[in-house]
Amino acid sequence: MATAESAYLSGLATRVSDLPDTERHTALVRVTHWINALSFFGLLISGFAILLAHPRFYWGEAGGIGTPSVLDLPLPFMKGGPSGWGRNLHFLSAWVCVINGSLYALSGFLTRHFRKDLMPAKADLRWKSVWGVVSSHLRFKRPGVETSLAYDVLQRFTYLAVVFVLLPLMIWTGFAMAPAIVSAFPVIQTIFGGQQSARTIHFLAADLLVLFLLVHLTMVSLAGFKNRVRAMITGRSPAREEHP
Ligand code: HEM
């Protein structure tokens, strides 16, 4: 039977599995999480459709057929392909993602969700403690039941990186490719060295988000898909292991 070892739960002398169901995720975190997941899939599909029109990347202001590229994807050029509906869906999903993400970020600061639930506790930043969590993740060890009550240190770092680095970088580089926005605020684009650099960084950050999603889904599955997803839907987490 697992005991609550994490610093987030150090005040609990009881066994985790003896605890009753607990309030896990607030309504706002749940609603914004699922809207984000939906808009992310919209962005992913439409981004791929847009990419097929020109699956090649450049650095600096301009780039095109006949100019040196920094990355050539082994995909066919599909001029007049799916990029029409792709662009429409991409803009729609991007605005949903921006508005929804802003709401999540604003409420995360106001309700101290980021400080309470995502900032790592000092005790968990000790090398031994971090290494313990990293090595169990690397061995794909099933996360302990205590992680159904609070995120472990690696989850916290990863979620903070996604929320405060990768998603803002995606939005910024996206704006840096929008002519109307760049003509009003050129610095949004010049800071990256030009439109093509912004496009390349946008693509690389998208790849990191896809990698995050694959690991995220693997870890949720290892921890017990039904219980974790149910907690993200209903807000309540059963403090019991999920037996397959
Ligand atoms: C269908 C796909 C997805 C599923 C099933 C899913 C499931 C979950 C679950 C169960 C949790 C809680 C983790 C736990 O209790 O250990 C969670 C949290 C989280 N997920 Fe997802 N997720 C999905 C897609 C995404 C995507 C696309 C993103 C971002 C690009 C994302 C970002 C996050 C973040 C940042 C948290 C922490 C939220 C917070 O507490 O503020 N998820 N997810």
Q: What is the pLDDT of residues 191-243, one digit of tens each?
A: 999 999 999 999 999 999 999 999 999 999 988 899 999 999 999 987 665 65
Q: Is the pLDDT of residue 34 over 90?
A: yes
Query: Ligand 1: does its nearest atom lie under 6 Å from the Cβ of 198?
Result: no
Q: What are phi and psi of 23, to 5 degrees?
A: -70, 120
Query: Rounded to whole angstroms, what are the CA distances from 205 to 81, 100, 170, 198, 212?
Result: 24, 19, 6, 10, 10
Q: Is the CB of 36 under 6 A from ligand 1?
A: yes
Pocket test for ligand 1, best of 6, 28, 152, 216 (most atoms within 8 A of CB): 216
Pick the residue whose CA is nearest to atom 37 on ligand 1.
Answer: 159
pLDDT (tens digit per residue) in 76-116:
998 776 668 899 999 999 999 999 999 999 999 999 999 99
Distance 33 CA to ligand 1 centre (A): 6
Probe residue for ligand 1, chosen from 22, 26, 33, 109 as the CB with the greatest number of ligand atoms within 8 Å: 33
Atom of ligand 1 minimally distant from the CA of 113: 41
Segment 111-132 shows an average pLDDT of 93
pLDDT per residue over 37-66, tens digit each?
999 999 999 999 999 999 999 999 998 888
